[in-house]
Chains A and B, each alone.
Chain A
Amino acid sequence: MTRGSPADPRGQRRGRTIRHAGLLVAGAVFVMWAVATLTFFAIRLIPGDPAQAILGGPGSQASQEALDQVRRDYGLDQPLIVQYLAMLGRLLTGDLGTSYALKVPVADLLGAQLGGTLLLALLSLVLAWILALGLSLWSTGRGRIATAVGEGIELTAAALPHFWLAAVLIAIFSSGLGWLPPVATGTAAGLVLPVVTLAVPLAGFLAQVMRESLLDAMQQPFVVSAQARGESTTGVRLRHTVRHAALPGISLSGWALGWLLSGAVVVETIFAMPGLGRTLLQAVTLRDIPVVTGVVLLISLVYVLMTVLTDVSSRIADPRLRQEANR
């Protein structure tokens, strides 16, 4: 056979892993470049003069000198390609431009808020994982009623819009019972409702996938093998099927974090939390283009990094993925 049989299979596998990692990084860089390019050209589609927008919109009646000054300052008098390259160059140094509305560097503005939003999203992700894993473990393989209840809860949870869930939670726990503040006050108590709001629908999605994967694993012959070695039902769950149920939770985490960051727009607005989402919404309403592009690029970057991380951790958790890539 002419199959290239390697003298050192492990070395070759390591080589492939490195190649795979290289491809991942190259892919991430490409996606970020494409996102930046797409955003840059998309905002050129905005009707009207950007210099006008910087000076407070069409109603501001800025003088011609002021407009010319702004065009020079922001490089708007340059050809498009020069502006584009300048934008890429600035991005590489972490410069996201200056806010039209607030006249402060966008990078500083967002840097101050990234932490809060990431904390919110990560806490929600962890809570969603716990809820989803708990629900799927509880409802799978325990008879019809448990399955039906589990399916119903997942379906409902996944159908809950953030803005409505937030409102209902506020109505119950703030206005009704008075247990928790209706606005995020920067305290731990103030984080509870926003985190729950973001986590519950996500848990619905994750639980659906986890339960299918768990059900699938429970029907595999290796469960019978494990039982035949004297493993108890609990032991089979702990040592075998839970891992299989957790796999989709890991591989979906990249998507989930992006989904949470997008959900933060709604949740931060409702709970009056400072953060990327609320900043984005304000910027969209004010058409503060540098801030909008800045937030979009930042969220894309977080999403892309998380996707790479997810891919790597999936391959660590599931050796079958490594096998596939080797084939």
Chain B
Amino acid sequence: MTIDPDSPVLDVADLRVAFGGTDVVRGVSLRISPGECVAIVGESGSGKSVTARALLGLAGSNARTSSGRLRVRGRELGSAGEREWQRVRARDVGLILQDALVSLDPLRPVGREIEDPLRLHERMPPAARRARVLELLHHVGMPDPDLAARQRSGELSGGLRQRALIAAAIALDPPLLIADEPTTALDVSVQARILALLARFTANGTGLLLISHDLAVVQELADRILVLRDGTVIEEGTAAEVLGAPRTAYTRALIAAVPSGRPRGVPLSVIDRPPGVAASVPHATAPAWPDLGNDRPLLELDHVTKAFEVAGGRFTAVDDVSLSVHRGETLGLVGESGSGKTTVARLALALTKPDSGDVVLDGIEWSRLREAERRPMRQRIGAIYQDALSSFDPRWNVGRILADAMSSVERGAPAPGVAALLEQVGLAASVANRRPLTLSGGQRQRVAIARALAASPDVLICDEPVSALDVTIQAQILDLLDELQRSRGLACLFISHDLGVVQHMADRVAVMQGGRIVETGAAEQVFGHPVHSYTAQLVADSPRLVH
């Protein structure tokens, strides 16, 4: 079958999807030519994943889908039945989902999963199919195709199983690939390689529909960009147009919210606040905290090592780590998953005891104290976690959570009221009566910040505080944290896997790899002129939005 190079592989007009009377996708139109990459960007709830699935007839049995036109390789599929869709899937359109750990059947060998499309669509003897599977695995850069074909998704690393998932999607060499957040669960170095692999397909003439929340990822691959909000395309154009000269306020806000490359202190959030968030965060004029680095550090880790017993030996999570945070300073700690960042946070909070070395809080070696002695000091150090919801007692409402946090303040110290605390983090006083479960992710994180600040601590530990949030919400939370850190002169240890976020938030940066700190220095120094090869690689792999 020959394809006219100019005729689009996908041509959709006015696609609508509704679930039980609620419109989720409201009239999306798009075209993809061979070799072209079209990206749909949007935040959670924008309808981008539903759009991707509807293009394969997979929106679900309770979805009502309609379209003015839905053509794949020129064939109209708007009224296609399940049988017709089954013939289209994999042959004409390949689908790549997020996180292959759950997108591949954990009980079946990867090879069998890749074999499926060959078995279902081609008359091919089993031996030929198996040979083709190995060929495909080799093609997607699997180091040992023979072994990988026999392994299950759980036995492969994140990057390798994503490659296996891609191999299954391209098994029949479909002219169109749909990739729904294909790199979201991956470390940056792995992400960079998967993106390069996808770029290879478009270079060979495959059309690619990329669904992502990450503008920097989109910029690397996309020729055209559609910005989706509440099921509607609110902006569309070439990548340069949309990212360089956005026409709508929402797109501008999305771009502004990307922290990488923005100096400290520049607010990231510019758009309307969600309901339940007070109109303005009080803009405190930053008080001067002079002599940074000269005074005694508020928090110090001094040659700290911590190992855990694991099956088959000891695993050194934190290996001879030294770092210090001063008053009014944010120290950013970056590293990929498994590098020991969270163990550092737990050590700093004296939740685990170091095997050797000391954790010093304002001159006191508090890792050596007994827990009872440590308890009165705990109000001097607060913590914010990635998953705010699970850090709240599920039976309590916001008011009770905050009152409980304030009651730990020793008598005599003036305790701010719950309402005042909520106002400081930009929440309305009425939020006090709600349960965290009924709040949005951003609101929950604000409550978590309010709780951490209830006892007026000097030190704040933030462990991936914005990783679970949409980019515009992330921007608001980062602005709030930055604001509070400056106005209160907090010593802040800010832990994140996201170089952009750390770069925006931190005065100084420490880079962690395999339990060790490989590089440390001023933020602009480390990111601008990395010395250690690992840091240089991280910086190179991190997608950055080029303005």
- Which of A2, A239, A243 has its CB near the most chain B CB atoms (within 10 A)? A2
**How many Å lie between the Cα of A239 and that of B109 in the bound state?**
12
Known contacts A244-B107, A318-B107, A327-B310; is A229 also within 8 Å of B90 by CB?
yes
CB pair A222 B89 closer than 8 Å: no
Interface of chain B residues 87 through 129 with chain A (CB within 8 A): 87, 89-91, 93-95, 97-99, 102-108, 113, 116-117, 120-121
* B450 interfacial by beta-carbon distance below 8 Å: no
Contact check, A222 vs B106: say whether CB atoms are below 8 A apart. yes
Question: Are A4 and B313 in contact, with the CB atoms below 8 A?
Answer: yes
Cβ-based interface call for B165 (8 A): yes
Assembly CA distance A4 to B171 (angstroms): 37
Q: How far is the CA of A244 from the CA of B121 in the complex (A)?
A: 25
* Complex interface: chain B residues within 8 A of A230 (CB): 86-87, 89-91, 116-117, 120-121
- State the Cβ distance, B19 to closest chain A Cβ, in Å: 15
Kindly state whether residue B311 has any CB partner on chain A within 8 Å.
Answer: yes
| CB neighbours of A243 from chain B (8 A) | 107-108
Minimum CB distance partner of B338 in chain A: A1
Give A221 to B171 CA distance when docked, in angstroms: 19
User: A260-275 vs B: 1/0 string, CB under 8 Å?
Assistant: 0000000000000000
Q: Does A16 contact B312, Cβ atoms closer than 8 Å? A: yes
Assess whether A61 is interfacial by the CB under 8 Å rule.
no
Instruction: Flag if A225 contacts B104 (CB, 8 Å).
Output: yes
The answer for the CA separation of A97 and B543 in the assembled complex, in Å, is 77
Residues of A within 8 A of B106 (CB): 222, 319-320
In the complex, what residues of B have CB within 8 A of residue A224's CB? 53, 58, 95, 97, 103
Verify if A34 is at the interface (C-beta below 8 Å from B): no
Q: Which residues of B contact A3 (CB under 8 A)?
A: 313, 315-316, 514
Query: In the complex, how many residues of chain A place their beta carbon closer than 8 angstroms to a beta carbon of chain B?
Result: 32
A2 contacts B105, C-beta separation under 8 Å = no
Inter-chain contacts of B116 with A (CB < 8 A) = 226, 229-231, 239
CB pair A221–B103 under 8 Å, yes or no, is: yes
A323 to B157, CA, bound (A): 12
Q: How far is the CA of A231 from the CA of B105 in the complex (A)?
A: 13
How far does the alpha carbon of A230 sit from the alpha carbon of B95 in the complex, in Å?
Answer: 11
Most chain A CB inside 10 Å of its own CB: which residue of B121, B155, B168: B155
CB distance from B44 to the nearest CB of A (A): 16
Q: Which of A1, A221, A228, A229 contacts B514 (CB 8 A)?
A: A1
Whether the Cβ atoms of A221 and B102 lie closer than 8 Å is: yes
The distance from the CB of B180 to the nearest CB of chain A, in whole angstroms, is 9
In the complex formed, the residue of B with least CB distance to A225 is B103
Complex interface: chain B residues within 8 A of A231 (CB): 86, 116, 120
A222-B102, A228-B89, A230-B120 given; A326·B311 CB < 8 A: yes
Contact B154 A320 (CB under 8 A): yes
A252 to B306, CA, bound (A): 39
Are A220 and B311 in contact, CB atoms less than 8 angstroms apart?
no
Chain B residues with CB below 8 A from A327, complex form: 310-311
Contact: A4 with B107, CB < 8 Å? no
Q: Are B311 and A240 in contact (CB under 8 A)?
A: no
Which chain A residue has the least Cβ–Cβ distance from B514?
Answer: A1
A2 with B56: CB separation less than 8 A: no
**Among A16, A226, A228, contact of B105 (Cβ-Cβ < 8 Å):** A226
In the complex, are the beta carbons of A228 and B58 less than 8 A apart?
Answer: yes
A240 to B105, CA, bound (A): 7
What A residues does B102 contact at CB under 8 A?
220-222
Instruction: Say whether A156 faces chain B, with CB atoms less than 8 Å apart.
Output: no
Question: Which B residues, 249 to 280, have Cβ-Cβ distances below 8 Å to chain A?
Answer: none
Q: Which residues on the A side are within 8 Å of B16 (C-beta)?
A: none
Q: Which of A16, A225, A240, A325 has the most CB of B within 10 A?
A: A225
Determine the distance from Cα of A220 to Cα of B165 in the docked complex, in whole angstroms: 15
* Cα of A317 to Cα of B105 in the assembled complex, Å: 13
Interface check A12, CB cutoff 8 A: yes
Given A222-B104, A224-B58, A229-B168, do A319 and B154 touch, yes or no (CB 8 Å)? Answer: yes
Judged by a CB distance under 8 angstroms, whether A227 is at the interface is: yes
A residues less than 8 Å from B99 (CB atoms):
221
Q: Is A232 interfacial (CB 8 A cutoff)?
A: yes
Q: Which of B56-95 contact A (CB under 8 A)?
A: 56, 58, 82, 86-87, 89-91, 93-95
Contact assessment for B89 and A229 in the assembled complex, using a CB-CB cutoff below 8 Å: yes
A residues near B (Cβ < 8 Å) are: 1-4, 12, 16, 220-222, 224-233, 235, 239-240, 243-244, 317-320, 323, 325-327
User: What would be 14 A-B contacts, judged by CB atoms less than 8 Å apart?
Assistant: A1-B515, A2-B316, A3-B315, A12-B312, A222-B103, A225-B95, A225-B105, A227-B56, A228-B90, A228-B95, A229-B171, A239-B108, A320-B154, A326-B311
Pairs A-B, 5 closest by C-beta atoms: A1-B514, A228-B95, A4-B313, A2-B316, A230-B90
New A-B contacts (12) at CB < 8 Å, excluding given A225-B95, A239-B116: A2-B314, A3-B313, A221-B98, A222-B103, A224-B53, A226-B113, A227-B56, A228-B56, A228-B94, A231-B120, A243-B107, A319-B106
